Amino acid sequence: MNSVAAAIGFAVILVVIFVLFGPVLWAAARRRAKEIEEEMDADCFTVRPSNLSFVFGIMFMAVSVGCVSSIYTKGVTDRVEIIYSIVFAVLLSLPGLYFLMFRLHCKVTVKGKRITYMSFWGKEESCAFDDITIVERGLVAMPKGGNVDTIKAYRDMKLIFRVNAYWPGFDLLASRLESEGVSIFGFDD
């Protein structure tokens, strides 16, 4: 069970890093988002998750690869230990795949009077600013404390996209929605 213990040790270290440094990393991501936002054109821009999602995805994937590679480097022959390590590696790769897909797929693009948004699963839809019926903006509580500013846009009472403050272009999108005359309501989760 040495490789399973090593895999659990990797996972514990990853979770500790995520919990301890997560708030600091999200604050840094927000500052970087503001810097990127200053360089964006107000008429044509894309709002997408920060690179931090990509970093977290790579971290989880690296640990899952480490679990599987520890089996081969130690020459483990016990089938139960091999199965545990592979199952543990697959379970660790799931959040990594989520973060990577989230970074690569989720985005909102504004070009002129049109908004194109891509969902987590890659489904792309487009609408005009006039099609958006309700926009909610407010603070959403984070699991480990703190709040993040969020915009939720609806068309005919259906959520079409959600954007968080640490995404580059968030404030630009908010000001663009206001300038287009879309009503923005406050909410608190």
Read off the pLDDT of residues 91-103 as tens digits, 9 standing for 90 and up.
Answer: 888 888 888 888 8
Contacts of 178 (CB under 8 A, 6+ apart): 184
Torsion of Cα atoms, 92 then 64 then 167 then 159, to 10°:
-40
Q: What is the pLDDT of residues 125-183, one digit of tens each?
A: 898 988 888 888 888 776 666 677 888 999 888 888 888 887 888 888 888 888 888 87
pTM of the model: 0.69
Angle of CA points 46, 150, 96, to nearest 5°: 70
All structural domains of the chain with their residue ranges: 2-105, 129-188
**Beta carbons within 10 angstroms of residue 183's beta carbon:** 11
State the amino acid at position 7 in one-letter form: A
Mean pLDDT estimate for the chain: 80
